[in-house]
Amino acid sequence: MDTIGKTDAYVQVLYGGLEAKTEIKKLTYEPVWNEELKIPVSLPTVNEKVTVRLYDWNSGLQADELMGTITFNIKDIMSKKVNFKF
């Protein structure tokens, strides 16, 4: 978080060695992206986990701050048991 308490948030999605990121939403408490991130999936798959991470972006040499992580099974996403809306 910035010194004023707001975040410069973005989401990173990881699957099977691939990565997709949203744009950074600067200086907000409640970011909304309305973006569609696409990562190709081939079934059957060896890797069954999709990881979604929320970061606070930092400029300069300081590393981005991880604010949260959640992991889903790809089968739950494909069967629509899980619906991503950011």
Q: Please report, in tens digits, the pLDDT of each residue of the chain (86 residues total).
A: 555 678 999 999 999 889 999 999 999 989 999 999 988 877 777 778 999 999 999 988 889 999 999 998 887 777 776 666 65
Reported in sequence order, the residue ranges of the chain that DSSP labels E, i.e. its strands, are 7-15, 18-21, 25-28, 49-56, 65-73
Reference 67, options 58, 76, 79, 59; nearest CA is 58
Reference 27, options 62, 68, 59, 60; nearest CA is 59
**How far is 7 from 18, CA to CA, in rounded Å?**
25
Choose which CATH entry (2.60.40.150, 3.30.565.10, 1.20.1510.10, 3.40.50.720) describes domain 7-78.
2.60.40.150
Say which amino acid occupies 60.
G
DSSP state at residue 30: S
